[in-house]
Amino acid sequence: MNADYHVRLVNGIHNSTVYSGRVEIMINGEWGTVCDNGWDTTDASVVCRQLGYPVVLATYSSAHFGRGSGAIWFGDLQCSGEEESLDDCSHIGIGRHNCGHYEDAGVACSSGKNLNYCCIINRTIYLVLVLLYYYKIQFL
């Protein structure tokens, strides 16, 4: 990973549960975007994990969060999902692409905290219903 490498999400939501927006990356002091060509959940998982929001809720293409400006750093990313940052993923070369900013990639990441909370409640309700059903059969 390049020492002068930063990532942020622009024009979306940023709170303790969700972080979303246009993917912007700083390389050599310049913020740029990622082209949506080949942009998928595996690539996005690298961004989300680096930002401390380990769950990918959705990926976006076609400048869903508005068009960025300046460089378009990456296109045709092929991450395995294990990389520390996008510049460790396979790609066609920094700044090499045939994309426009109308193709800027976006992502919605989640901390997963509220998701776990929801599912614990759902599982508890399910368990109670199963027990009620079971006891109803016993007493009939």
Which of helix, strand or coil describes residue 94? Answer: coil
Taking CB under 5 A as the criterion, the residue among 9, 27, 36, 86 binding Ca ion is 36
Q: Closest Cα partner for 58 from 25, 13, 20, 24? A: 20
Give the nearest distance from C-beta 54 to Ca ion in angstroms. Answer: 19
**Residue among 9, 23, 43, 86 that touches Ca ion (CB under 5 A):** 43
Looking at residues 44 to 73 of the shown chain, list those that interact with Ca ion (rule: CB under 5 A): none
In the bound state with Ca ion, the residue whose beta carbon lies nearer, of 20 and 59, is 59
Q: How far apart are CA 51 and CA 22, in angstroms?
A: 13
Minimal distance, residue 29 CB to Ca ion, in Å? 26
Q: Is 62 helix (H, G, I), strand (E, B) or coil?
A: coil
Out of 38, 66, 81, 112, point to the residue binding Ca ion (CB under 5 A): 38
List the helix and strand counts (H, then E) for the chain. 2, 6
| CA gap 85, 116 in Å, rounded | 26
- Binding residues (CB under 5 A) for Ca ion: these are 36-38, 40, 43, 77, 103
